[in-house]
């Protein structure tokens, strides 16, 4: 090999390694929906229930005080870091509402379930994407309905004897 061949080979190698390389760009751009949901789960994990209440769409008659009490009574929290949300997919996005599918990692569960994989509905209120209060209650294990008790009336069954 001549010096010229070595220089050409080295130049070609350098071109392949650096010249033809694409600029470094984050491949997985975090969507506004994903970022908003992540921030909401962070508030829950931190125990900032008053702030969390403001980041949720409020369906029904749950007061801030009731919400905070129920959330303090549960041991379930979103997992930290990369386990918090996995496989985030936007299924449908409109101007004021969106549906996403995501696996939410959980800590503190007593039944061994360490995640909840499902669809979540988000609503855009005042330029902020908000999760539904009911979804938070559901994955926190605090979804029980209050004030509705069912009871069965005592029924006496009298046997009928035929002779």
Structural domain includes residue 7? no
For residue 18, what pLDDT is reported?
58
Gap between the Cα atoms of 55 and 44, Å rounded: 10
Query: Which tens digit of pLDDT belongs to each residue from 35-46?
Result: 999 999 999 999
Structural domain includes residue 134? yes
Strands 97-107 and 115-125: antiparallel
- Categorize the per-residue pLDDT at 131 as very low, low, confident or very high, splitting at 50, 70 and 90: very high
Strands 128-132 and 56-57: parallel
DSSP assignment of 108-122: S-SSS--EEEEEEEE
Average pLDDT for 71-79: 96
For residue 144, what pLDDT is reported?
54
For residue 64, the enclosing domain spans 32-140
The total number of structural domains in the chain stands at: 1
Structural domain includes residue 77? yes
Average pLDDT for 73-93: 95
Average pLDDT for 84-99: 96
3-state DSSP call for residue 86? strand
Structural domain includes residue 16? no
Structural domain includes residue 60? yes
Max avg pLDDT among 6-10, 71-75, 147-151: 71-75
Structural domain includes residue 148? no
For residue 19, what pLDDT is reported?
52
For residue 59, what pLDDT is reported?
73
- Categorize the per-residue pLDDT at 110 as very low, low, confident or very high, splitting at 50, 70 and 90: confident
Regarding predicted confidence, which is higher, 113 or 60?
60
Please provide the distance, in angstroms rounded to a whole number, between the alpha carbons at the two ends of the chain: 117
Average pLDDT for 98-123: 93
Gap between the Cα atoms of 21 and 25, Å rounded: 11
CATH number for the domain that contains residue 44: 3.10.450.100
The residue count of the chain comes to 163
Q: Please check whether residue 64 is in contact with residue 55, taking contact to mean a CB–CB distance below 8 angstroms.
A: no
Structural domain includes residue 5? no
Distance (Å) of CA 149 to CA 94, 118, 142, 152: 39, 29, 16, 10
Structural domain includes residue 118? yes
Mean pLDDT of the chain: 81
């Amino acid at each position: 090999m001549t010096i010229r061949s070595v220089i050409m080979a080295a130049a070609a190698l350098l071109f392949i390694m650096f010249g033809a390389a694409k600029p470094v760009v984050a491949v997985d751009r975090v969507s506004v929906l994903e970022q908003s949901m992540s921030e909401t789960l962070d508030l829950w994990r931190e125990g900032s229930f008053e702030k969390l209440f403001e980041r949720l769409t409020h369906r029904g008659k749950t007061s801030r005080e009731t919400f905070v009490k129920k959330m303090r009574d549960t041991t379930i929290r979103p997992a930290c870091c990369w386990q918090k949300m996995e496989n985030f997919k936007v299924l449908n996005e409109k101007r004021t509402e969106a549906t996403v599918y995501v696996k939410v990692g959980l800590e503190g569960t007593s039944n061994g379930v360490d995640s909840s994989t499902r669809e979540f509905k988000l609503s855009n209120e005042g330029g902020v994407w908000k999760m539904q209060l009911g979804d938070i209650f559901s994955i926190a294990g605090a979804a029980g309905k209050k004030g509705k008790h069912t009871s069965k009336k005592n029924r006496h069954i009298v046997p009928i004897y035929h002779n």
